[in-house]
Amino acid sequence: MKVFEGLKFRRRETAIHRLDPRTKFVVSIVIFTLALVFTELPFLFLLFMGQLPLIYSAKVHREWGRSVRGGLTLTIIIFATNLLVGYFSNGMVITEGLVLYSFSLAFRFIVLMSSFSIFFLTTSPDDLSLALQQSHIPYEFCFAFTTAIRFVPVLANEAQTIMDAQKSRGLELEKGNFLKRIRNFIPILIPLIVGAIRRSLELAEAMESRAFGAKKERTSLYLLRMRMSDWGALAASGLVLASALYIRYFVGLSRLPLT
Amino acid sequence: MVVLTGPSGCGKTTLCRCFNGLIPNFYGGELLGDLVVHDLSVKEHPTSELSQHVGFVFQNPENQLFALSVEKDIAFGLENLAIPRDEMRRRVDWAMDMVGIRSLKDQAPYELSGGQQQRVAIACVLAMQPDLMVLDEPTSFLDPVAAKNLFEVISKLNKELGLTTILVEHRLDLLSTYSTRIIVMDKGKIVSDGAPRDVLASNDVEALGIGLPKVTRLYRMFSEQGLTFDRPIISVDELVQEIRRRAAK
Amino acid sequence: MIEVKDVYYSYPSGIEALSGVTVTICDREFVAIMGENGAGKSTLVKHFNGILKPSKGQVTVDGVATTKESVAQLSRNVGLVFQNPDHQLFSETVEEEVAFGLRNFGYRDKEIDERTTRVLDLLDLAKYRKASPFILSGGERKRVALASVLAWDPKVVVLDEPTVGQDYRQKERLRQFVLKLNEEDRSVVMVTHDVEFVADCSPRVIVMSHGRIVGDGDADDILTDEALLTKASVLPPQVTQLLWQLSDLGLPRNVLDLNKAKKLLDNVMGVRTGG
């Protein structure tokens, strides 16, 4: 669950937070792409270090750290899996190269994960929804998206309350064999689902009562505007991407110590 | 300001959902007869149109706030109506000031207390500048102090803006002094309709077993013993005055 | 007997909901826990059957610490009826809903049948025995939830906000029912903010505010203590408000009951009460 800590928005007053969500999305995509394009450890390491100043200036380092620690299990699994696969297919031999390669793949996973972590930690779901809207995605989808996020804490609470209520009627959720445990979740699931349906009906009522669908084109209270800082960030990302791709595909990498 | 009350299942909730067209448009079923709000027949106009004249505040504060910030929620109705941004900004600020929640404007709904959430819901409706506001048991989930505060806000809006208000409620002891008219329903029919004093003091209403304020019950008990009063008593202050008057004699 | 010893509780989010609460609830007591929303009332009662375990301090039920048993085990003796019945209802029939708890506690079929019949009759739900709980009205669903807890006869019955959403007649019925429960040798604990309802029941009243207990005593004393009620943001009962304003006429300040108030006022109003 700690992994998800790295995806939850934190309200802070930083330059990164003030950037347009579309800019941040592009930057994340650039980092993501670069991490995919390169498998060489030094590059990945550079990419990783390059994110750190962004994370620190956004003051979200603690949450980011927590999510990296949360993803450590998966990282280790990736490392071990690749090692084993290489071991068996390489004639039962572990070479230094194989270890380095597995390590760089595992490391790459961390870079990929954290590239979007920055995006989610510094972008409020509201801004996200606005970005989607202004990118001409139909309003219904944006609304469904925001509403889902808005109700996640509510549903989580309700699930907990339902579990408490059923435990108070003698339901033992922690005992019994596998099959029994699955059956024991029915008294939790049904009230949850019925509750969700009831809730969506109430929501629909409220939406209708506020003239949802009255006009084809909606206006919006807030407007996302690209500023100098946004264009600057985009330009910088573009430059980094271009030069990296150039190095990768047009300049030989044999000079550098690799696998 | 009309208070609509009656025992559970009497039809008051159903009736108020007719005012903005949720019945018959959202709920289906059959509607005989007609309901005309602001010259618009409920049967012939969609809720999206009716809701520009009739604002609705629901019982459960949580399920009528969908945005991630108070401001955005209040703007929701205006966005749906394609109101230009400047006008929207004006109205949102005005609604927040009317209800006293300007300081909460960037907070998320789940960060607010029940009373605050209901005030936001009222602001959401107010921003659309309706002619009529309907509130369906808005204090159901609130404690008595928060309920009293909410009634004060509603009463203020009714007096200052002349906003016609229909309030469906059980908590008559807190409300009797705010309303100008009480309608009592039972089993799908209206059984009493008039000034609070007359309605609360009538025999039919007592028989229904709705929650009369205790002071009104005392008034009835004294009346039955032969004491005469100028007018029925519906608040603590009034009874205090009466008692002092007699004690002085 | 439920003993709460200097209990502190903080939610995972960090909010401290209980700040040093100490209280004992004996067998066969009738208690109302009052206070504004957020005072900590529900948080406190959730410690009684172990749903919440104290961050500091201890809660024991009949001498056993709540940390030593599971919620299901503790619920055998402390039955908690939640505020929203829809958080519990999931069965196809009312009968199965009531049987759920009984099955969990290991009762045999014959006894389950008998107990179900008894409790459905008690709460006037016999006619809905084979009906689906989802088609019943709000008040009826609340009664089904209550029935399902009473079925296994817990020594302590805790009701969380039983009057919310109920009309006058339903509350009257509830009041009589609650008094009857108490007469039958059970402890009844009600969490409520409905002061008129509590005034009509006249139990022991515990008032909470900001996670602490700020008042504990007979309803007559607590609900007429103006300073206490103001501090805890609890509205006084109308009858009490009335008599406070007339205290200069020699009327007492500690009366809750409507009929008692009437008798006192008879003299002032010049009513002859016969004979």
Residue ranges covered by each domain of chain B: 2-196
- The CA distance from B218 to the nearest CA of chain C, in Å, is 7
pLDDT bracket for residue B78 (50, 70, 90)? very high
Q: In the predicted model, is pLDDT for residue C193 greater than 80?
A: yes
pLDDT at res. A255:
44
C160, closest residue in chain A (CA to CA): A165
Q: What value does the mean pLDDT take over residues A145-165?
A: 88
User: Which member of A146, A206, A221 has the closest CB to residue B75?
Assistant: A221
Most confident listed range (A126-130, C7-11, C256-260)? C7-11
For the purposes of burial, counting CB atoms within 10 Å of the CB of C99, is it exposed (0-12), middle (13-18) or buried (19 or more)?
Answer: buried
Contact C167 B240 (CB under 8 A): no
pTM: 0.85
Task: List, for residues B145-193, the tens digit of each pLDDT value.
Answer: 899 899 999 999 999 999 999 999 888 887 777 888 999 998 889 988 9
Contact C90 A186 (CB under 8 A): yes
What is the C-alpha separation between C73 and C105, in angstroms, rounded? 8
Residues 6+ away with beta carbon under 8 Å from B61:
B114, B117, B118, B120, B121, B141
Tell me, what's the ipTM? 0.88
For the purposes of burial, counting CB atoms within 10 Å of the CB of C179, is it exposed (0-12), middle (13-18) or buried (19 or more)?
Answer: middle
- Chain B residues with beta carbon closer than 8 angstroms to that of A124: 68
Please give the helix or strand (H or E) that residue B41 lies within, else none: strand B40-41
- Chain C residues with beta carbon closer than 8 angstroms to that of A168: 49, 51, 71-72, 75, 79-80, 82, 149
Domain chopping of chain C, boundaries: 2-222, 237-275
Contact B80 A212 (CB under 8 A): yes
- The CA distance from B38 to the nearest CA of chain C, in Å, is 31
pLDDT at res. C273:
57
The per-residue b/e assignment along C119-132, b for 16 or more CB within 10 angstroms, e otherwise, is bbebbebeebeebe
Contact B77 A223 (CB under 8 A): no
Q: In the predicted model, is pLDDT for residue B205 greater than 80?
A: no
Q: What value does the mean pLDDT take over residues C90-114?
A: 92
- Chain A residues with beta carbon closer than 8 angstroms to that of C87: 158, 161-162, 165, 191, 195
Contact B145 C38 (CB under 8 A): no
Q: Is B214 on the interface with C (CB under 8 A)?
A: yes
Task: List, for residues C74-99, the tens digit of each pLDDT value.
Answer: 999 999 999 999 998 999 999 999 99
Q: Which superfamily is assigned to B2-196 in CATH?
A: P-loop containing nucleotide triphosphate hydrolases (3.40.50.300)
pLDDT bracket for residue A7 (50, 70, 90)? low
Task: List, for residues B27-43, the tens digit of each pLDDT value.
Answer: 878 888 888 888 888 88
Interface residue ranges in chain A relative to chain C, Cβ cutoff 8 Å: 158, 161-162, 164-172, 174, 186-187, 190-191, 194-195, 198
Q: What value does the mean pLDDT take over residues B63-78?
A: 90
Q: What value does the mean pLDDT take over residues B225-242?
A: 86
Share of chain C above pLDDT 90, in %: 60
Q: Tell me the CA end-to-end span of chain C in Å, nearest whole number.
A: 48
C171, closest residue in chain B (CA to CA): B211
Domain chopping of chain A, boundaries: 2-123+226-250, 141-209
Contact B218 C258 (CB under 8 A): yes
User: Which member of A161, A170, A187 has the closest CB to residue C72?
Assistant: A170
Contact B78 A221 (CB under 8 A): yes
- Chain C residues with beta carbon closer than 8 angstroms to that of B114: 37
pLDDT at res. B133:
94
- Chain B residues with beta carbon closer than 8 angstroms to that of C233: 143, 145
What is the C-alpha separation between B138 and B141, in angstroms, rounded? 8
User: What are the distances in angstroms from CA B203 to CA B200, B220, B234?
Assistant: 8, 9, 15
pLDDT at res. A62:
81
Q: What are phi and psi of A170, to 5 degrees?
A: 95, 5
Task: List, for residues C31-88, the tens digit of each pLDDT value.
Answer: 999 998 888 999 999 999 999 999 999 999 999 999 998 898 999 999 999 999 999 8
Q: What value does the mean pLDDT take over residues C153-170?
A: 89
For the purposes of burial, counting CB atoms within 10 Å of the CB of B14, is it exposed (0-12), middle (13-18) or buried (19 or more)?
Answer: middle
Q: What value does the mean pLDDT take over residues C254-259?
A: 87
The CATH number given to C2-222 is: 3.40.50.300
Q: Is B58 on the interface with C (CB under 8 A)?
A: no
